[in-house]
Chains A and B, each alone.
Chain A
Amino acid sequence: MDVTAPVAAIGRSTLRSLAALGRVSIFTAQTLRHILIPPYYPREIWHAVIAIGWLSLPVVGMTAVFTGAALALQIYAGSGRFGAESVVPQIVAIGMTRELGPVLGGLMVAARVASSIAAEIGTMKVTEQIDALVTLSTNPMKYLTAPRVLAATLTVPVLVAVGDAIGIMGGYLVGTTRLGFNEAAYLKNTFDFLQFWDVGSGLVKGAAFGFLIALMGCYHGMNSGRGAQGVGAAVKAAVVASSVLILASNYLLTEAFFGS
């Protein structure tokens, strides 16, 4: 048995990972360049805004309302152990705006949008539509990737803002109907407590998550393998990569914003 085999396996795996990181970095740089440098495709950007932003509203709204409602119940039960039930409005507000709004909203958009982008672009690749774009003097990165990444970066923060509001409303509904909070006091406590950066940091996270979601959808779609199996694998990779990147970047951004 070759004693160097395990080392060689580690080396191969490391090289593969570094190569993948390099490819993603080049793809990201190219995407940014195509977003900044004309020509632009406003119609494609508008379509992407509708597909990514508007059509994700129901799923983000549903996620937020149930998350806010469950959060209010949990905080009430937990804080009751040391007699601090009155902090429910404040903790729901800060929990939704800083963490749960952007992260859960981002994950839901990743499931819905990264998969759809990867499937669409992957199918276009398999059916030679990407090659057709090139022969029609149109750069696929500029025509397909740049509008989607730009649209997601701009619309996911809006989705997060809507999700924050709906999540707080979910907490409010449970707080006032189930936990005995006074309606006006609940709202006053929420808005008096919230600071601009609580909401602002969540919106910045939303923009970062939107960028990552669309980037991963486009990257895996553009690199899709052949046939239905290739497209299926691209969709799976796009959802997994965007979800993991959302969670990892969420930690890094939280550390950067609130770490000290």
Chain B
Amino acid sequence: MIELRDVHKSFGDHAVLRGVNLTIPKGESMVIIGGSGTGKSVTLKSVLGLVKPDSGTILVDGEDVEKAHRDTFLSHFGMLFQGGALFDSMTVWENVAFRLLRGSLKRPKAEAREIAIDKLRRVGLRSKVADQFPAELSGGMQKRVGLARAIAADPQIIFFDEPTTGLDPIMSGVINDLIREIVVEMGATAMTITHDMTSVRAIADKVAMLHDGVIQWTGPVGEMDAADDPYLRQFITGSAEGPIEAVR
């Protein structure tokens, strides 16, 4: 379970998070929605320890993120980055098996490669892709490789940062379906940030709407369309009229 309690974060004079409270039960898929610059990425990076909150508490399975042993803590996580964040000096399989080639999860090279190829197949990529470099792949394929890397060490918690950004609608659908399948199959806790409503409907068990540094609305995805929160309504309908200023 992931719990954020009254998390604040400012950059200079700009307060990005102004008291975020959010609970993601174990095995659930939470999608955080919100406009650009509302603090979605900062929220996600705060949980991972990539950004240090100014105040508040973040607990993962009851353990304070700031006090946890970093390596052990991070070994439970997998993350798919918005742009893939693949290491371009390495081949695809070395990217996927990165965690399995070093550190506490280190395996023999041949075994790590086998696992990497297996994970690549799981995300719908042929084994011949394994020896290519990320720059030789299309955007959709890079996303899949990123997804394979995120699940390579069978993490208990997976984060997805804008998983469909920059992809065509069909490839977005493929990635959404893959994410949903993998999360269910692995029984992992998932936290996704996106502003793609198709993704939300495909991936989420629960939805949280982040606006102005706080969670404006949260609830099951099935209740989202019937909710009368004006911020959520405006975001779902994509209207320029409403409490969320179109010009920010």
Q: A residues near B, CB below 8 A?
A: 39, 41, 124, 127-129, 131-132, 134-138
B104, A128: Cβ atoms under 8 Å?
A: no
Structural contact, B104 and A127, CB atoms closer than 8 A: no
Is A138 a contact of B102 with CB atoms below 8 Å?
Answer: yes
Interface of B (DSSP majority class): mixed
Query: Residues on B close to A: CB < 8 A?
Result: 45, 48-50, 70-71, 74-75, 77-79, 81-83, 85-88, 98-99, 102-105, 149
Given contacts A132-B85, A134-B74, 6 further A-B pairs with CB under 8 A are A127-B85, A129-B87, A131-B50, A134-B48, A135-B78, A137-B105
Closest to B72 in A: A137
Is the CB–CB distance between B71 and A131 below 8 Å? no
Q: Is the CB of A137 within 8 A of B99?
A: yes
Nearest B residue to A139, CB-CB: B70
Bound together, the chains give a CA A39 to CA B105 distance in angstroms of 13
Could you say which of A131, A137, A138 has the most chain B C-beta atoms within 10 Å of its C-beta?
A137
> Do B83 and A128 have beta carbons less than 8 Å apart?
yes
Q: Which of A39, A127, A135 contacts B77 (CB 8 A)?
A: A135
Q: Which of B70, B85, B99 has the most CB of A within 10 A?
A: B85
CB of B74 within 8 A of CB of A131, answer no
Q: Is the CB of B74 within 8 A of A135?
A: yes
A137-B71, A137-B74 as given contacts; A128 in contact with B82, CB under 8 Å: yes
Measured CB to CB, the closest approach of chain B to A219, in angstroms, equals 19
Q: A39-B103, A41-B102 are in contact. Are A137 and B79 (CB under 8 A)?
A: no
Count contacts between A and B, CB distance < 8 Å. 48
Alpha-carbon distance between A134 and B48 when the two chains are bound, in angstroms: 9
Chain B residues lying within 8 Å of A41, measured Cβ to Cβ, are: 102
Question: Contacts of B104 on A, CB cut-off 8 Å?
Answer: 137
Query: What residues on A are CB-neighbors of B88 within 8 Å?
Result: 129
How many angstroms between the C-alpha atoms of A136 and B103 in the bound complex? 9
Whether A131 contacts B45 in the complex (CB less than 8 A), given A137-B70, A137-B74, comes out as: yes
Instruction: Name the A residues within 8 Å of B103 (CB-CB).
Output: 39, 137-138
A41-B102, A129-B85 known; A134+B50 contact, CB < 8 A: yes
A127 neighbours in B (Cβ, 8 Å): 83, 85
Chain B CB within 10 Å, residue with most, of A124, A134, A136: A136
Closest Cβ of chain A to B124, distance in Å, is 21
A-chain residues with CB within 8 Å of residue B149 when the two chains form the complex: 136
Q: Which of B49, B87, B102 contacts A132 (CB 8 A)?
A: B87
Contact B85 A128 (CB under 8 A): yes
Give CA–CA (A128, B165) in the complex, Å.
15
Cβ distance B105 to chain A, nearest Cβ, rounded Å: 8
Chain B's nearest CB lies how many Å from the CB of A246? 27
Report how far A134 CA is from B149 CA in the complex, Å.
14
A33, chain B: closest CB distance, angstroms:
15
A124-B88 Cα distance, complex, nearest whole Å: 9
Sampled A-B contacts (10; CB under 8 Å): A39-B103, A124-B87, A129-B88, A132-B81, A132-B85, A132-B86, A137-B70, A137-B71, A137-B74, A137-B103
A131 to B77, CA, bound (A): 13
A39→B102 CA distance, assembly (Å): 9
The 7 nearest A-B residue pairs measured at CB: A132-B85, A128-B85, A135-B79, A137-B74, A128-B81, A137-B71, A136-B99
| Contact between B87 and A135, CB atoms less than 8 A apart | no
Closest to B82 in A: A128
Kindly list chain B residues whose C-beta atoms are within 8 Å of the C-beta of A135: 48, 50, 74, 77-79
Complex formed: what's the CA distance from A128 to B80 in Å? 11
Whole-angstrom distance between the alpha carbons of A120 and B73 in the complex? 28
Interface contact B50-A136, CB-CB below 8 Å: no
Question: Within the assembled complex, what's the spacing in Å between the Cα atoms of A135 and B105?
Answer: 14
Query: How far is A226 from B45 in the complex, measured between Cα atoms in Å?
Result: 17
Report A-chain residues with C-beta under 8 Å of the C-beta of B50: 131, 134-135
For B78, give the chain A residue with the smallest CB separation: A135
A111 to B39, CA, bound (A): 39
A131 to B48 CA separation, bound complex (whole angstroms): 10
Residues of A within 8 A of B85 (CB): 127-129, 131-132
Residue ID in chain A nearest B161 by CB atoms: A128
A41–B83 CA distance with the chains assembled, in angstroms: 26
Give A135 to B146 CA distance when docked, in angstroms. 12
